[in-house]
Amino acid sequence: MRIKYFEDTDTTLVEFSNNPPVETQELNENIYLDLDAEGRVVSMTIEHAGKSADMREFLYQRIPVGSLA
């Protein structure tokens, strides 16, 4: 997974796989999903990302199996 933030356009791109997208679906006026030939989500684009989230910091946390009791 790769996450890219483009300051010049205030856009975040979240890439889930390297599969080429064949279709884009609009969830709302600021969020778009790219799907591969099998209908799986390969990426998500968030326009105006800084207005809806703090883009100065990104935290990734992996929760091990069984740790949420």
Which regions in the chain score pLDDT beneath 70? 68-69
The pTM of the full predicted model, rounded to 2 decimals, is 0.81
What confidence score (pLDDT) does residue 69 get?
A: 56
In three state form, how does the secondary structure of the chain look?
CEEEEECCCCEEEEECCCCCCCEEEEEECCEEEEECCCCCEEEEEECCHHHHCCCCCCCCCCCCCCCCC
Q: Look at residue 39 in the predicted model and tell me its pLDDT.
A: 96
pLDDT confidence of residue 13: 94
